[in-house]
Every structure is written in C-alpha cells, then in structure tokens.
Amino acid sequence: MTTTAAGTDTLAERLAEVWADLEEQLAQVPILRRLDEGTVTLDDYLRLLFNLRQQVVDGSLWISRAASNFDVAHFELRAAAIRHAEEEHRDFLMLERDYVAVGGSLDQLRAGRKNIGSEALSGYMFHYADLPNPVGLLGAMFIIEGLGAQRAAGWAARFQEVLGLADSQVHFMRYHEQADSAHTGDLEAILDSGIIDAAAADDIVRCAQVVARLYALQLEELDR
Amino acid sequence: MTATAYLTGFGSYLPGEPVGNEGIAARLGGDDPVTQRIRRRVLEANGIRQRHYALDEHGEPTELNEQLAVKALQAALGDRGIGASDIRMLACATTMGDVLVPGFASMVHGRLGGGPKQLLSVAGVCASSLSALDAAVSKVRLGDHPRAAVVASELASRSLRQRRYDGIRSGMDAHFLRWMLSDGAGAVVVEFQPHPDRPSLRVDWVRQVSLAHEHDVCMRAGMSGPEPVVGRTWQDVDIAEAEAAGMFLLRQDVSMLDDLAGAGIRQFEELVDIGLIDVGHLDHVVCHYSTNAFRDVAFEALRRRIPTLDTDRWFSNLETRGNTGSASIFIALEEAWRTGRFAVGDTVLLAVPESGRFSFAFAHLTVVAPPGRATASQIKE
C-alpha cells in the first residue's frame, strides 16, 4: 500500500479514519437513531427510500461520465468504471419496486426531487466526474460501496425486524450487501495495484471525506 | 422473511329490509299447501328467522351480485378509512356471478374502480370465501402487495323463485336450499401493517382442504344427477332441455350432510392434533353452518376438546342474517368485530365447511393492539 506525503499512514489507514468519522456522523442521523432504537415507522422507511431514490437514479450517470474522462493511461480504471456503471444502472428500479411494495406511489416517487444533501452530493459527483482522469472518485466509491456492503443489509434487517417487512420489500438494501461487497473487493484490488501515486491517494482521501459528509447530509435532510 | 397479514377493515352489505319467515313466499313464491308445508319444516330445522333478499316485495331483482360485493367492499374500505385506489389486490368469492363470462372479480373491479389491481375470482361454494382470503393473505405476506381486499358475495334468491320450480320435479334436495339461502356480501381489508390506531386481527394461518377424492357431489347445479356425463351437462344440451331436467335448480343431497359434519369435525381435530389450534388458548369460534341442527353437532364436538367453550365464545348470525353461502363467514366476522366481542390478545377461529364436494376451510386470527401499544399478552408477561 502506498505511503503518502501527508504522513506515514497508508491509504487504507487514512480511508479507515474517514470511515470511522462517517460512522460517528451516521450515529447522529435521526432516522438511523430511530432505526437503532426500534421506534422507526413505516413512514420513515418510505421517506428514506423516497429520498435515496432521487440520488440513486443519478449513480450510473456520474460513473459513466467519469468513465468517459479516463484516458488510455488509466485504461484499467476506465474499464472498471464502465463495468460498474453497467451494474448500477438498474439499481433504482429495485428501490422503486420496494417503495411500491410497501404502499408508496410510483408516480409520486418519480416526480420527487432531491433533498438538500442529495443535491450537494450529486452536484459534487457530477462535478468531479467531469474532471480529466478523476481518480479521486475511488474515494467516493469507497464510501458509497462501503455503506452498501457494510450498513445497508443491517438497515434492511432492522427495518424488517421493527416493521415486519417481507424480503421483497427491502430488495434494494439487501441486494447491496452482496453487490457492493463485490465492488469493494474490486476497489481494494485497484488500490493495491500500484497505480495509485501519492497525489492520487490524497485526492482519494479528500473525495472520500467530502462524499461521507454529503452522504450523511443527505440522510439528515430528508424531505428538505 | 415474510411480512405479517392483518385484517384492518370489515364491511358487510345485506340488501333491503330484513325479511321474516312470513315474508318469504311474497318474494320467492311457493304458496301452494304442499310447498308451504315443506317450507315450514325446513325453516323449523334451519332456525333462520330473518334474511335479506335483493328482491322487491314482488320478487323482482333490485340489485346485481356485483353490486352487493361492491357495497360490502366500500363498507370495509370506509371502516378502514382508505379508498379503493389504496388496494392493490382484489380477491372475490361467489358461488355464481351475475354473468357466465367474464370472471366475477373483473365485474366487481369494474364497478368499484380504484386503479389497476391484481384480481382473483374464486369459484366454489361456502369455503371459497376463505380461499380468497388465503390468496390475499399470502400475497400480502410475500410483500407483493401492501394492501388487499377480499369480498364474498351471494345473490342466490333470484334462482330460488317459483318460476324455476314450475313444472319441474323437485324433492327435498332442492327445497332444503330454497328455504335456506339468501343474499348478502361481506368484505375484509388485508394489510401488512396493523391498523394505526385501533386493534386489528392478525391472520396466523389459513387452511383449506378438499376431500372430493373420497366423496361424491353433495351440492350441485348444471347436471341432472350426481355425476357429470359427457354431452349431458347444461352446456351440452338445449337450454330448454336443461331447464326441463331441473339442471338450473340448486340441489343438495341432504342425506350426505351428517357425513359432512363428521368430516368437518375430523378436520378440526386434525388441526388440534398438529398443534395449529391450541384448545387451551382458543377464545372465539365463528362458524359457518347451514342450519341450527349442525350448530349443535359442531358445538358439542368442539366442547369435547374445549370444555370451557360456552355459548358466549361461539358466534353465528345465521338466525338473523340468513345463510348467505360464501358471504356468511365475513358477515358474521364483521358483526362479531363491530359489536365488540373480541379483546386484544384473544384468538379467533373461523370455520367454514362446504358441502359442494366436501371442502373445509379454517382461519386462525389473533386480536392485536395498534403499534406502539402493549398487547394484553405482553402485559401478562
């Protein structure tokens, strides 16, 4: 693993620190606290899906945009981004089916707009994806795929436990445990491949910090 | 993991004013001395004092079966405080719809409205009600639909009128049903969440079993004997010939009814034996039966297993609402629920024997408190 100019910590250690900060922020998010306490309501689950959907629907778009900005010197990253965009671009449909399965209206869901946090997150991702060779986005991937792999299934299980939901009502969150675990495996392989230099590592950590904060903001700003 | 299904809304619709025993002949005819004598005998046996007909005082139809179903559905949706557009599945049971084609549920949905829905038309006789419930409950448990509605509806009276019987040989097999059946509809709303601010009935399980493999037809229409014959059903022969052969009379082989009662009790015993019914924790029984004679048979059989079962825990409204076939169980459940017979924590068994060709359906329900409030059983703990 690369050692950076900023200190003696490896990239993995620096990302682990960003992750720990994110965990602390998530513990303060009201809807996640209610989920933890078991006081979460069906309306909370609907709101969470509604708010996530407005940003998730953009996921494949910024990944493909990033793919188009990797030059031939970053061929492996471009290949990975193209694969990833293909895998993600039907995800929001799964979320939409869950929303309908718990009584939500597809028309209203699709007519929804992003909350303040989602606007910031999505805006930042598109901005970053427009840069030439946006290697720093691996930091965004670390956060978003990490949430999917490490937290989403736990959230799904807790929603199921508290609200008595069927598996087919939490597809989106459950699916991400497997899919994003595979993606984080891919990510680790890239980070270990030796193509990340010190400057790129700094970019990755910085992007991870911003995305972690904006993701938490998205969860804090439900419906606003 | 599956979701849990709850009954959160209850409705029934009984057309017109209640008709006492003295008002039957005006609607159904049959005022010759022989028929009057048979009627009196049948009414004494079945114990029904009042029923409803979708017929005016001259015996002319006032409504369609699909209208009865829609009114019961609207009552159930109103009871729950939601609209038809909140329902994603509609399961409809009836013995005979108004028309041969299309299915009953299509006609009910067309009249009810409320956006796209999954439909199920369950054909059968009395137990089709719980088969429809089973399907809706299963889909809700799977998480495929957040809300469904189930309705069972019957409009038998129009085929019980004198014009059907004129010149046709009809014995006790036809008269028994003629003076027993009447019209009505009952409906429930099924959801994956309990009612937000009042108790609901959690559906613990639904079981339906047919013993047609070892029993002949008991209740029939559309053929001239107990066995269908190739080329000889009502669809094969001329309509006039079918009518002359009495194929359009609803008939029941009353000599088989003791066997039916015995088989139903054995099914109940089996549910006790496999542990689905815990006789130590069964608080209410809502049972469909066609006549009071079977009430006593069933009640005594249950009391052998549940010595504490007294008449307070046994509910039927056969005597005042009549025998409305598949609709009966929901009409009885609605009245039991509305009149406050059940308390949070109580368990309820619905039991529906069907004579058609020996089918039996049961459902086990538990009264649960609204979310966020402790249930009686939790308090006990």
Mean pLDDT of successive 10-residue stretches along chain B, which has 381 residues: 97 97 94 91 93 95 98 98 97 97 98 97 96 98 97 97 87 90 98 96 98 96 93 96 93 92 93 92 92 84 82 91 97 97 97 96 98 52 32
| Nearest-Cα residue of chain B relative to residue A38 | B372
> What's the confidence (pLDDT) of residue B70?
98
B143 vs A42: CB contact, 8 Å cut-off? no
State the smallest CA–CA distance between residue A163 and chain B in angstroms.
8
Domains observed in chain B: 6-191 (3.40.47.10), 200-380 (3.40.47.10)
Distance of CA A50 to the CA centre of its chain: 15
Cβ of A103 and B86 within 8 Å? yes
User: Which contiguous run of DSSP H or E holds residue B286?
Assistant: strand B284-287
Cα distances (Å, whole numbers) of residue B69 to B11, B72, B280, B286: 10, 5, 36, 21
Q: What is the mean pLDDT of each run of 10 residues along chain A (224 residues)?
A: 60 95 97 96 97 94 95 92 89 95 96 97 97 96 92 94 95 83 76 84 97 97 96
Nearest CA in chain B to A104: B146
Residue B1 DSSP code: -
DSSP B55: B
The ipTM, to two decimals, is: 0.81
C-beta of residue B167 within 8 angstroms of C-beta of residue B130: no
Which own/partner contact pairs does A18-24 have at CB distance under 8 Å and 24+ positions apart? A18/A139, A18/A142, A18/A143, A18/A205, A18/A208, A18/A209, A18/A212, A19/A142, A19/A143, A19/A146, A19/A212, A21/A209, A21/A212, A22/A143, A22/A212, A22/A215, A22/A216
pLDDT of B251 reads 93
Inter-residue contact B94 to B153 (CB < 8 Å): yes
Q: Looking at the partner chain, which of B4, B86, B145 has a beta carbon nearest the beta carbon of A164? A: B4
Q: Is residue A173 part of a domain?
A: yes
Q: How does strand B184-191 pair with strand B284-287? A: unpaired
Say which CATH number the domain at A200 has: 1.20.910.10
User: For position B218, what pLDDT does the model report?
Assistant: 95
Does residue A5 fall inside a structural domain? no
User: Distance (Å, rounded) from C-alpha A137 to C-alpha A67?
Assistant: 11
Residue A6: per-residue pLDDT: 53
Count of Cβ atoms closer than 10 Å to residue B277 Cβ = 25
pLDDT at position B78 is 98
CA B111 to chain centre: 21
d(CA B327, CA B157): 14
Whole-angstrom distance, CA of residue A67 vs CA of residue A132: 10
From chain A, the residues in CB contact with B144 under 8 A are: 101, 168
* Contact between B82 and B115 (Cβ < 8 Å): no
Report how far apart, in Å, the C-alpha atoms of B329 and of each of B128, B270, B322 are. 10, 21, 11
C-alpha A222/C-alpha A213 separation (Å) is 15
How far apart are alpha carbons B37 and B43 in whole angstroms? 10
Task: Inspect the interface and report whether the beta carbons of A42 and B193 lie closer than 8 Å.
Answer: yes
Q: Enumerate the residues of chain B whose CB falls inside 8 A of the CB of residue A165.
A: 1, 3, 143, 192
> Quick check: B1 and A166 CB within 8 A?
yes
Interface contact flag, B143 A169, Cβ < 8 Å? yes
Residue B48's nearest CA partner among B167, B168, B164, B183 is B183
Distance of CA B167 to the CA centre of its chain: 31
A94 near B CB under 8 A: no
Instruction: Please state, in angstroms and rounded to a whole number, the distance separating the CA atoms of residues A220 and B164.
Output: 71
* φ and ψ of B28, to 5 deg: -100, -10
A94 token code pair: 């799964």
- CB contacts of A169 in chain B (<8 Å) are 3, 143, 192
Q: Report which of A173, A159, A188, A187 is spatially closest to residue A95, judged by C-alpha positions.
A: A173
Interchain contact, B1 vs A101, CB within 8 Å: no
Of residues B1, B2, B144, nearest to A101 (C-beta): B144
Answer whether A132 touches B (CB < 8 Å): no
Confirm whether A6 is domain-assigned: no
Cβ atoms B355, B261 nearer than 8 A: no
C-beta of residue B130 within 8 angstroms of C-beta of residue B329: yes
Q: What is the number of structural domains in chain A? A: 1
For chain B, helix (H) and strand (E) counts, in that order, are 13, 14
User: What is the model's pLDDT at position A7?
Assistant: 60
What does the alpha-carbon distance between residue A67 and residue B10 come to, in Å, rounded to a whole number?
56
Instruction: Determine the pLDDT at residue B380.
Output: 36
Judge whether A3 lies within some domain. Answer: no
Cβ count near A178 (within 10 Å): 12
Cα–Cα distance, B42 to B121 (Å, whole number): 32
Cα distance between residue B56 and residue B77, in whole Å:
28
- Report pLDDT for A5: 52
| Backbone φ and ψ of A55, nearest 5° | -100, -40
CA angle B117, B118, B123 (to 5 degrees): 125
Measured CA to CA, the distance from residue B365 to residue B98 in angstroms comes to 32
**The domain containing residue A92 runs over which residues?**
11-220
Beta carbons of A164 and B193 less than 8 Å apart:
yes
Q: In whole angstroms, give the CA distance from residue A169 to residue A49.
A: 11
- CA-wise closest residue to B334 among B206, B205, B156, B152: B152
φ and ψ of B11, to 5 deg = -150, 155
Mark yes or no for CB contact B146/A101 under 8 Å.
Answer: yes
Q: What are phi and psi for residue B354, nearest 5 degrees?
A: -125, 120
d(CA A49, CA B119): 28
Residue A1 counted as domain residue: no
From chain B, pick out residues whose CB is under 8 angstroms from the CB of A103. Answer: 86, 146-147
Contacts B143 to A, Cβ<8 Å: 101-102, 165-169
